[in-house]
Amino acid sequence: MNIRDSEYPYCSLDSGALKPEAAFFVVFGATGDLAKRKIFPSLFDLHMEKTLPQRLVMLGFARRDLDDGAFRADMREGCARHSRHKGFSDADWASFSSRIFYLASDVSDPAGYARLASLIGGGEKLAGLGQDFSLPRNALFYLAVGPEHFGLIADRLGEAGLGSGRRGAGTRRGQKPREGWRRLVVEKPYGRDEASAGALTEVLQRNFSERDIYRIDHYLGKETVQNLLYLRFANAIFEPIWNRNHIESMDISVFETEGIGQRGGYYDTAGAARDMLQNHLVQLMCLATMEPPASLDPESIRNEKVKVLQSVATHDGPELLRRSRRGQYAEGTDGQGNPVEAYAEAPKVRTGSATETYVSLTLELDNWRFSGVPITLRTGKAFAEKFSQIVVNFRRPPAALFAAQCGESLLPNRLVIRIQPDEGVWLRFNAKVPGMPAIKASDLRFSFRDVAEYLPEAYERLIADALSGDSTLFIRADESKFAWRIVDSLEAAWSSADPSARPDQGGLLRYAAGSPIPSLQSHE
């Protein structure tokens, strides 16, 4: 069954009226993995869903010496493998790919940007688009490159009059005032601490206004993550109990079965706290704990998230070590029994590296709603299971009647918001065991897969939103700053701890790849 056909009417929100606009969609790092695995397949899916405007011109920008044909062939392969529209026809592909072009240039070479400016400014035609194809005036620049290039590209765009900020507005002497919008989409990692993220923000804002900077956290593009606000604020039954009077604790987890694969070079300088906690887990916490925003506009929602981040309680080093755990996977096996090499043996990992592949951190929010409620953020690689979820543990009922007799075996209510897989919401409640004077917990389960044929890919949503000018699902500069503060203080505590110390004093736990998820109690 499709949710739209159910007995209840559905209500379409205003923001649904936002439409991707005609634009140059310029992908820096177009020959890289992200372009082939996510960006072009998502664009193709949007095209197949008829969500893309006809006048969207996609332009790959990278160093490799390719022509349009070779680049299109490469993207076709990526789309065939990674798009959700499998088995598409030549005609489908032709209608999409005729608007894909390639510009070979080094990211540091001003000549490449001059060419870009002339294309976007309408000074140069693109072969094959037809005489009557009117080129769009808008441009979105997608930075699918290593973070070391973010600042340089933003500067070069600004210098070429392609930005939207103080420098890039295209109104310097000799240049015509700019027509159309300019947007910059930035991938992670966005800095490696507060200082580097701040420095990057400065460069980006020198060339683009903050409202034109779209920082990606792909978790926000997931349907189940967006559902958090719908679940909380479109229902009247959750909000009255969504506070410290009724909630005992919250656990936010993202576990993965895969190790770090070939990403050792990046990962070893990051670790689980920087790679996952600073962004995905902190964002989930914000959405699960924020106050209702004044409206659904991007700034109202992001303001509320920032307030959550500002209310995170700070602790000294020893207390942070007590509240956190770090671990690294050792040799083990995957789900199929195949051997998995230890993190320490993975390519490009430094000898003797103490980089964590597992992190757990218990935070508290110093605010009226959640003061005193422990919120644990945990993430790890190479575990036995893969899932992302938010568990809201409610308080036990008072000791009258059942609780007095059953004690611990009367399980408290629990709401599981399952992000992936088995996307859905489960509510645990107690009921009578038929035929016996006994109580047993059961789950009320709602599964998105039962009511929707497919869940769109996070990137589809994010790309469509960026083309529509909706920045709700993107990270604002101050969100990134405050999120880094949390991780910076943890990193500082770890750096003063001995990796061979006790786990609650900052020691590095070793777990075999394929280990079961550690229970929260095992931390105590």
Could you tell me if 147 and 32 are in contact, meaning their C-beta atoms sit under 8 angstroms apart?
no
3-state helix, strand, coil in the chain (%, to 5): 40, 20, 40
Q: How far is CA 76 from CA 24, 72, 133, in A?
A: 19, 6, 23
| 3-state SS, one letter per residue, for 82-134 | HCCCCCCCHHHHHHHHCCEEEEECCCCCHHHHHHHHHHHCCCCCCCCCCCCCC
- Residue of the chain from 360, 388, 472, 480 that contacts ligand BG6 (CB under 6 A): 388
Comparing every residue's Cβ against ligand BG6, the nearest one is 275
Site for ligand BG6 in 185-214 (CB under 6 A): 188
Rounded CA separation 3/421 (Å)? 19
User: Least distance (Å) from ligand BG6 to the CB of residue 502?
Assistant: 28
Q: Smaller CB distance to ligand BG6: residue 188 or 418? A: 188
**Smallest gap from residue 388 Cβ to ligand BG6 (A):** 6
Given the complex with ligand BG6, which of 311 and 388 has the nearer CB atom? Answer: 388
Query: Among 360, 427, 382, 379, which Cα is nearest to 219's?
Result: 379
Angstrom distances, CA of residue 164 to CA of 188, 211, 238, 364, 474: 21, 10, 42, 39, 18
Cα–Cα distance for residue pair 25/475, rounded to 1 Å = 20
Residue of 223, 256, 470, 491 that binds ligand BG6 (CB under 6 A)? 256
At 324 the three-state DSSP class reads strand
Task: Report, in Å, the least distance between residue 269 CB and ligand BG6.
Answer: 12
- Alpha carbons 414 and 402: distance in angstroms, whole number: 17
Q: Which is nearer to ligand BG6, 188 or 305 (CB)?
A: 188
- Work out how close the CB of 277 gets to ligand BG6 at its nearest, in angstroms, rounded to a whole number: 11
Cβ count within 10 A of residue 450: 11
Q: Between 114 and 384, whose beta carbon lies closer to ligand BG6?
A: 384
Listed in order, strand segments (DSSP E) in 122-270 are 139-143, 182-186, 213-216, 247-255
Q: Is 280 an annotated catalytic residue?
A: yes
* Minimum distance, C-beta of residue 478 to ligand BG6, in the bound complex (Å): 21
Residues 78-97 that bind ligand BG6 (CB under 6 A): none
Please, what is the minimum distance in Å from the beta carbon of residue 420 to ligand BG6?
A: 6
Angle between helices 477-495 and 298-310 (to 10 degrees): 20
Return the number of the residue (38 or 76) whose C-beta is nearest ligand BG6.
Answer: 38
Contact 64, 115 (CB under 8 A): no
Question: Does 457 contact ligand BG6 by CB under 6 A?
Answer: no
Q: Which of 47, 82, 218, 280 is catalytic?
A: 280
Least separation in angstroms between residue 275's CB and ligand BG6 is: 5
Residue number, 372 or 421, with CB nearest to ligand BG6: 421
- Minimal distance, residue 139 CB to ligand BG6, in Å: 26
Burial (CB count <10 Å: 0-12, 13-18, 19+), residue 478: middle
How many Å apart are CA 391 and CA 415, to the nearest integer?
6
Tokens representing residue 499 in the block? 């990796």
Cβ-Cβ contacts under 8 Å for 102 (sequence gap 6 or more):
30, 59, 60, 61, 62, 66, 67, 68, 70, 71, 72
Find the binder of ligand BG6 among 194, 275, 479, 491 (CB under 6 A).
275
Q: Nearer to ligand BG6 by C-beta: 117 or 276?
A: 276
Size of the site for ligand BG6 (CB under 6 A): 5
Distance set, CA 500 to CA 83, 120, 232, 329, 427 (Å) = 45, 57, 43, 15, 40
Scan for tokens 């706290």, then name that residue: 273
Query: Which residues, in sequence order, are CB contacts of 139 under 8 Å at separation 6+?
Result: 23, 24, 26, 120, 162, 180, 181, 182, 183
- CB closer to ligand BG6 out of 205 and 389: 389
Looking at beta carbons only, is 280 or 323 nearer to ligand BG6?
280
- Encoded one letter per residue, x for contact with ligand BG6 by CB under 6 A and - for no contact, window 138-177 reads ----------------------------------------
Task: Report the distance separating Cα 49 and Cα 88, nearest Å.
Answer: 13
Neighbours of 486 (CB within 10 A): 23
- Minimum Å gap between C-beta 368 and ligand BG6 is 32
- In whole angstroms, the minimum distance from the beta carbon of 356 to ligand BG6 comes to 13
Q: Which CB, 215 or 323, lies closer to ligand BG6?
A: 215
* Interface with ligand BG6 (CB under 6 A): 188, 256, 275-276, 388
Residues acting as catalytic residues: 280
